[in-house]
C-alpha cells in the first residue's frame, strides 16, 4: 500500500517550532562549492565564506508549517571570497549541525543581496524561512 501521510497544521507547526528552537543563538556558516549529501556529511573542499549568528530566539512562531527567521546578525568581515551556494546551520555550541540549506538571491532557503562574497566585506541575510512539509516528502 502507498504511503499517504497528511500532517495537520498543528503537527507541521510543532515540527517547525521544535527544529527552529535548536537554532536559538546558533550559527549560519555559508560555503561555496557543492552542498554535501546530508547535514551529517563532512565538509571537505568547500570554503567557509561567512558566519552569521541567529538571535536568542532564532525564528518566529510557525504558521502553516512555515517559520520566518528573526533578525540575523551580519558577518561584518567575510572569511573568504567566493560564490555562496549553500549553508550549514549549527546549534549555539557552534559544533552541532542541525541542517544544510540552499543559498541564493531569491527563492532559496537563505536569500542574500548577492551570492558573490568578498573577503573582508559585510554579509547580510535578507530573508530566511523554514518549512515543515504537510505532505509526504
Domain boundaries, the chain: 24-36+44-131
d(CA 132, CA 7): 10
Q: What is the per-residue pLDDT for 135?
A: 65
Confirm if 58 and 70 have CB atoms less than 8 A apart. Answer: yes
pTM, whole model, 2 decimals? 0.92
d(CA 64, CA 116): 33
Q: What is the per-residue pLDDT for 105?
A: 95
Q: What is the per-residue pLDDT for 100?
A: 96
Q: What is the per-residue pLDDT for 3?
A: 73
Q: What is the per-residue pLDDT for 137?
A: 53
What SS3 class is residue 61?
coil
Judging by beta carbons within 10 Å of its beta carbon (0-12, 13-18, 19+), is residue 14 exposed, middle or buried?
middle
Task: Give buried/exposed letters for 29-67 (b at 16+ CB in 10 A, else e).
Answer: bbbbbebbeeeeeeeeebeebbbbbbeeebbeebeebeb
Q: How high is the mean pLDDT in each 10-residue block of the chain (137 residues)?
A: 80 96 98 95 96 97 96 95 98 97 94 96 95 73
Q: What is the per-residue pLDDT for 2?
A: 72
Amino acid at each position: 500500500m502507498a504511503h499517504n501521510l497528511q500532517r495537520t497544521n498543528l503537527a507541521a507547526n510543532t515540527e517547525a517550532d521544535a527544529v527552529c528552537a535548536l537554532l536559538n543563538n546558533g550559527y549560519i556558516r555559508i560555503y561555496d562549492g557543492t552542498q554535501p549529501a546530508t547535514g551529517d556529511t563532512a565538509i571537505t573542499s568547500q570554503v567557509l565564506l561567512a558566519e552569521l549568528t541567529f538571535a536568542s530566539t532564532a525564528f518566529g512562531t510557525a504558521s502553516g508549517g512555515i517559520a520566518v527567521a528573526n533578525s540575523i546578525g551580519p558577518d561584518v568581515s567575510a572569511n573568504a571570497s567566493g560564490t555562496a551556494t549553500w549553508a550549514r546551520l549549527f546549534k549555539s555550541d557552534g559544533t552541532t549541525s542541525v541542517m544544510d540549506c540552499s543559498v541564493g538571491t531569491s527563492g532559496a532557503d537563505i536569500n542574500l543581496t548577492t551570492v558573490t562574497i568578498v573577503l573582508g566585506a559585510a554579509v547580510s541575510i535578507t530573508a530566511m524561512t523554514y518549512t515543515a512539509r504537510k505532505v509526504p516528502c
